[in-house]
């Protein structure tokens, strides 16, 4: 197949670039190796829109942070992504901290960060009543905010898709074909895509992609672990709270998420590219760090923990540049913090680089570019006061009246919307990211089975093909009995059922017919029936099996 531009990577950088470039009359394909957008760093980070006082204007990441922060209000309102400018506080406990805070303010004032203030203990305690008593100063930055990072990423991708982007999930790039220093094609495990321009936004794998094009690049992932608390505790704090960083440690932050949960973390350790495991030591470390800021953190209120990787380059700066070896190849790599904040500005930077590869008459802006993503209704956005307004949606479709996820109040209608959105959810995790089903305190214990059923029904697949996050992560292993055979069930499943029924009636016969998959089990059963049971255990089993399922 052919395209003008191929973007590698469906994280916030890739999707922000995609949205920007779909403003032009260009054929664009985004390839992502996972089963959904926002499956890497973009789903597991602090979700903070940084004010920018940390930024060194000499660095790319500093410049883009400063440039991007003011863009968030319009961007998030256009895309219906939860975003709040809560402001942030860098909290200081001693004289040394105060010095650091002063330096940060000076730096921030110099580069034009609005409204920075150093506040004292009294005001700090007033605006953050749960803050540690020993906290004495804080740098207040009103322009900092919080955003839902995976929702932003998906919304960027979906808005781009609305404007013509083709998203190809589960496509892992295996080769970059070049000819005499010019780009020819991107080859994935499924497709070969000929194109003029490639954007390498592959996160922790950006170095592997760079090497395919003949460029040297090193990405050393750093892992950070987090805890999420029940929404019940989101009100405990009002701002993003950072400790004052020291030479050795950036410290653990405490923030609300855009959906009102409380988030604490991260630590930072070198890690492998697939290492998303949380560790017992790490979890103790972040809890300890967080308690320094908020001592009465409800330790029992944790509903989830996770780890994310930051794709850091040795220069500790973003690498947004054309490839030195291949014409048409652009890197958007080394995107560590503040990559989420910077994304809209990163996209503009990449846009400039893309312009270098096309004659200006070739880059025509679409006159029908849609800047906004149609709003999707969410029941959790309504509270006691305006709940009755929700009836408007139920009148349109009754599915909005059936609550499936009881913790987050997600209706069947919202789940079906996610399955048919511009970049359709295909997995349980994808539904969770789009509709929040399973995101709450029971972590999908109750709604999981129902969501599996809805996915299977809507996509016309067997429940056994439904995955958590793509092939290999199937939720169900095999059918037990034919309890809920449905009209819709595929032929394949019918055959399986018949086979299984046959097996239960006549194990010996079945063993012959159905050798490969059930050989082991069938032989065992046949053996038990042929010979006298020897052990007490076998006796028990025979007794129970002959009693049938009801008599378990």
* Interface with another protein (CB under 8 A), residue from 121, 130, 479, 499: 479
What is the rounded distance in angstroms from the CA atom of residue 544 to the CA atom of residue 166?
55
Q: Which stretch binds another protein (CB under 8 A): 78-86, 96-104, 365-373, 534-542?
A: 534-542
> What would the x/- binding string for another protein be over residues 328 to 367, using CB under 8 A?
----------------------------------------
Catalytic residue among 50, 239, 378, 409: 50
> What would the x/- binding string for another protein be over residues 388 to 427, using CB under 8 A?
x-xx--xx--xx-xxx--xx-x------------------
470 part of the interface to another protein, by CB under 8 A: yes
The least distance separating another protein from the CB of residue 512, rounded to whole angstroms, comes to: 19
Q: Which of residues 434-463 bind another protein (CB under 8 A)?
A: 441-446, 448-449, 452-453, 463
* Interface with another protein (CB under 8 A), residue from 321, 489, 514, 521: 521
* Interface with another protein (CB under 8 A), residue from 339, 475, 507, 510: 475
User: Residue 302: in which H helix or E strand, if any?
Assistant: strand 302-312
What is the rounded distance in angstroms from the CA atom of residue 97 to the CA atom of residue 93?
6
331 is catalytic: no
Q: Which residue has the tokens 């009881």?
A: 406
Of residues 461 and 476, the one with the C-beta less far from another protein = 476
* Interface with another protein (CB under 8 A), residue from 121, 192, 376, 464: 464
Residue 309 has φ and ψ, to the nearest 5°, of -110, 140
166 part of the interface to another protein, by CB under 8 A: no
The least distance separating another protein from the CB of residue 28, rounded to whole angstroms, comes to: 29
Of residues 97 and 518, the one with the C-beta less far from another protein = 518
The structure tokens listed for 257 are: 């998420």
The structure tokens listed for 101 are: 């805070």
The least distance separating another protein from the CB of residue 178, rounded to whole angstroms, comes to: 31
Q: Which stretch binds another protein (CB under 8 A): 78-86, 175-183, 382-390, 505-513?
A: 382-390
**How far are the Cα atoms of 56, 67, 111, 339, 446 from residue 63, in angstroms, in the given order?**
7, 6, 10, 12, 46
The structure tokens listed for 450 are: 């129902």
Residue pair 289/244 in contact (Cβ under 8 Å)? The answer is no
Regarding beta strands 262-265 and 220-229, do their DSSP bridges make them parallel or antiparallel, or are they unpaired? antiparallel
What is the rounded distance in angstroms from the CA atom of residue 8 to the CA atom of residue 381?
34
With CB under 8 A as the rule, give the number of residues binding another protein: 72
283 part of the interface to another protein, by CB under 8 A: yes
Q: Give the SS3 label for residue 262.
A: strand
The structure tokens listed for 78 are: 């256009």
The structure tokens listed for 256 are: 């609300």
What is the rounded distance in angstroms from the CA atom of residue 422 to the CA atom of residue 428?
17
The structure tokens listed for 522 are: 């069938």
481 part of the interface to another protein, by CB under 8 A: yes
What is the rounded distance in angstroms from the CA atom of residue 76 to the CA atom of residue 64?
18
Q: Which residue has the tokens 């995955």?
A: 467
- Cα 511 versus chain centre, distance: 45
The least distance separating another protein from the CB of residue 526, rounded to whole angstroms, comes to: 14
* Interface with another protein (CB under 8 A), residue from 165, 217, 241, 303: 303
The least distance separating another protein from the CB of residue 229, rounded to whole angstroms, comes to: 10
Q: Which stretch binds another protein (CB under 8 A): 124-132, 174-182, 258-266, 273-281?
A: 273-281
Q: Which of residues 124-163 bind another protein (CB under 8 A)?
A: none
The size of the chain, in residues, is 552
* Interface with another protein (CB under 8 A), residue from 51, 302, 332, 451: 302
What is the rounded distance in angstroms from the CA atom of residue 98 to the CA atom of residue 90?
10
The least distance separating another protein from the CB of residue 459, rounded to whole angstroms, comes to: 17
Q: Which of residues 216-245 bind another protein (CB under 8 A)?
A: 232
Give just the sign of the alpha carbon dihedral 455, 457, 458, 460.
positive
What is the rounded distance in angstroms from the CA atom of residue 412 to the CA atom of residue 527?
47
Q: So which residues are the catalytic ones?
A: 50
């Amino acid at each position: 197949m052919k395209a003008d531009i191929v973007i590698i990577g469906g994280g916030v950088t890739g999707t922000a670039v995609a949205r920007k470039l779909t403003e032009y009359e260009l054929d664009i394909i985004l390839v992502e190796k996972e089963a959904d957008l926002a499956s890497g760093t973009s789903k597991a980070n602090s979700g903070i829109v940084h004010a920018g006082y940390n930024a060194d204007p000499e660095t790319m990441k500093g410049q883009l942070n400063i440039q991007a922060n003011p863009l968030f209000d319009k961007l998030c309102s256009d895309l219906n992504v939860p975003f709040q400018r809560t402001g942030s506080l860098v909290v200081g406990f001693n004289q040394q901290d105060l010095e650091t805070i002063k330096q940060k303010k000076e730096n921030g004032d110099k580069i034009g960060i609005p409204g920075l203030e150093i506040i004292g203990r009294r005001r700090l305690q007033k605006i953050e009543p749960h803050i540690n008593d020993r906290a004495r100063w804080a740098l207040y930055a009103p322009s900092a905010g919080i955003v839902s990072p995976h929702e932003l990423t998906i919304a960027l991708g979906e808005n781009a898709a609305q404007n013509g982007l083709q998203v190809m999930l589960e496509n892992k790039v295996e080769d970059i074909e070049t000819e005499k220093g010019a780009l020819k094609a991107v080859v994935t495990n499924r497709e070969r895509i000929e194109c003029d321009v490639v954007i390498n936004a592959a996160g922790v794998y950006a170095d592997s992609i760079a090497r395919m094009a003949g460029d040297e690049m090193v990405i050393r992932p750093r892992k950070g672990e987090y805890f999420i608390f029940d929404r019940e505790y989101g009100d405990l704090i009002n701002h993003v709270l950072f400790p004052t960083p020291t030479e050795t440690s950036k410290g653990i932050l405490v923030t609300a998420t855009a959906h009102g949960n409380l988030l604490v973390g991260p630590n930072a350790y070198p890690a492998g590219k697939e290492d998303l495991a949380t560790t017992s030591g790490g979890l103790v470390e972040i809890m300890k760090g967080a308690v320094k800021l908020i001592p009465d953190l409800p330790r029992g209120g944790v509903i989830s923990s996770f780890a994310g990787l930051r794709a850091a380059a040795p220069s500790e700066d973003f690498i947004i540049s054309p490839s030195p070896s291949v014409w048409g190849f652009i890197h958007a790599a080394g995107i560590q913090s503040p990559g989420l904040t910077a994304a809209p500005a990163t996209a503009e930077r990449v846009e400039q680089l893309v312009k270098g590869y096309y004659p200006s008459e070739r880059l025509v802006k679409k006159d029908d570019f849609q800047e906004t993503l149609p709003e999707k209704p969410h029941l959790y956005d309504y509270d006691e006061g305006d709940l009755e307004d929700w009836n408007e949606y139920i009148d349109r479709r009754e599915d909005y009246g059936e609550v499936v996820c009881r913790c987050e109040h997600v209706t069947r209608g919202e789940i079906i919307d996610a399955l048919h959105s511009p970049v359709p959810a295909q997995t349980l995790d994808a539904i969770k990211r789009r509709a929040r089903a399973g995101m709450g305190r029971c972590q999908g214990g109750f709604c999981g089975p129902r969501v599996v059923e809805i996915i299977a029904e809507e996509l016309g697949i067997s429940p056994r093909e439904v995955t958590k996050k793509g092939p290999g992560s199937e939720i169900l292993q095999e059918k037990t009995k034919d309890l809920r055979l449905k009209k819709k069930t595929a032929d394949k499943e019918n055959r399986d059922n018949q086979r299984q029924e046959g097996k239960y009636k006549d194990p010996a016969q079945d063993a012959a017919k159905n050798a490969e998959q059930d050989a082991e089990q069938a032989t065992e059963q046949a053996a038990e029936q042929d010979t006298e049971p020897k052990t007490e255990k076998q006796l028990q089993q025979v007794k129970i099996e002959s009693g049938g399922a009801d008599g378990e």
